[in-house]
Amino acid sequence: MKLFLIQPLSGRQQSNNIFWAVLFLLLLAATFFIDPRDVSFLSCQFKNSTGYNCPTCGLSRSFYAIANMNISEAFNYHLLGPFLYLWIAAFYVKSTAEILLKKKIKLDINPLILRAILIVFCSVWLIFWISNFFTG
């Protein structure tokens, strides 16, 4: 695994990074202050309609818990919530670093390893969802 700084960052890439950095900053900031249990529009419409959990049920509560350092609670709400939260935080840091450095940051990872990580992640997500589908 190697880290590369590629120069220069095009205007379009700079605009995209600003968009993603602002979007993820707002998301991360919201997770500190907005408790999803107190906001009705964050309730799951799939669960309200069918009575069953959707694949993302518990993510907003997990994000809120991890942002407020309740790690075990975050895993209880959604097994993959803390990992997704950290990925979003890392993507925010990467986008911000690219804006400041005006260089594209590329992490060179073996495609087979990346594919294996993606398959494991999706498999765990599917198993977690199926196991919680009927538990409400």
Q: How high does pLDDT run on average in the chain?
A: 86
Domains of the chain, residue spans? 7-133
Residue 1: the pLDDT is: 58
Q: What is the pTM of this model?
A: 0.80
Mean pLDDT of 67-77: 93
Residue 5: the pLDDT is: 64
DSSP E strand stretches across the chain: 2-6, 104-108
In this predicted structure, the answer to whether residue 91 has a pLDDT above a threshold of 70 is yes
**Residues 25-37: pLDDT tens digits?**
999 999 888 888 8
Cis peptide bond upstream of 82, omega within 30: no
Q: Which residues of 110-133 are buried (b: 16+ CB within 10 A; e: fewer)?
A: eeeeeeeeeeeeeeebeebbeebe
